[in-house]
Amino acid sequence: MLPDPLHPAIVHFPVALSALLPLLALLTAIAIRAGRLGRESWALIVLLNALLVGSVLLAHETGEETADRVEKVVDKKLIGAHADAADWLTWVSIGSLVVAAAGLLREGAGSAARTGAVVVSLLVLAVAIRVGHLGGELVYKHGAASAYVEKGAKPPLGNAD
């Protein structure tokens, strides 16, 4: 059984991947340049970028599915700011995938692309932080989660310990 809404469960994947990618890309690029790993090991970074793009697209889609309901309790401008940031994340993550894939090329072009992929992955991280921050504000500051609370429902009781 899938959670309802699905969006809060999905959004952690792009955030986690965008946080891991810069470090993993940097370490892999350094190891390839030092001759400790072969160029083909960069395929892991390309795969992680592809997973990032997939998770961003899924988070984006599930976010659009929740927007109409959340607009009943949160100002549309706030939701729009989060959605606009998510659009940026979609495009920069796709760009990151393209640059990372070029890192599989031989010689100078591949090396330059691997360096570029590290830099672009930092941009992806910055945009992901912005998207996450705006989404967190929607939930924790502006009450977006209340769109999913049934009328008359009581909050769960804390531990009596």
Residues 156, 158: Cα–Cα separation, whole Å: 6
Residue 90 pLDDT class (50, 70, 90 cuts): very high
- Residue-wise pLDDT for 108-146, tens only, equals 999 999 999 999 999 999 999 999 999 999 999 999 999
The per-residue pLDDT for 1 is 85
Mean pLDDT of the chain: 93
Rounded percentage of the chain residues whose pLDDT exceeds 70: 94
Residues 63, 70: Cα–Cα separation, whole Å: 10
The reported pTM is: 0.90
Rounded percentage of the chain residues whose pLDDT exceeds 90: 83
Tokens 């969006």 correspond to 7
The per-residue pLDDT for 2 is 85
Q: 134 Cβ partners below 8 Å, 6+ apart? A: 78, 81, 82, 85
Q: Where are the domains of the chain?
A: 7-148
Per-residue DSSP letters for 24-89? Answer: HHHHHHHHHHTTSS-GGGGHHHHHHHHHHHHHHHHHHHHHHHHHHHHTTTS-HHHHHHHHHHHHHH
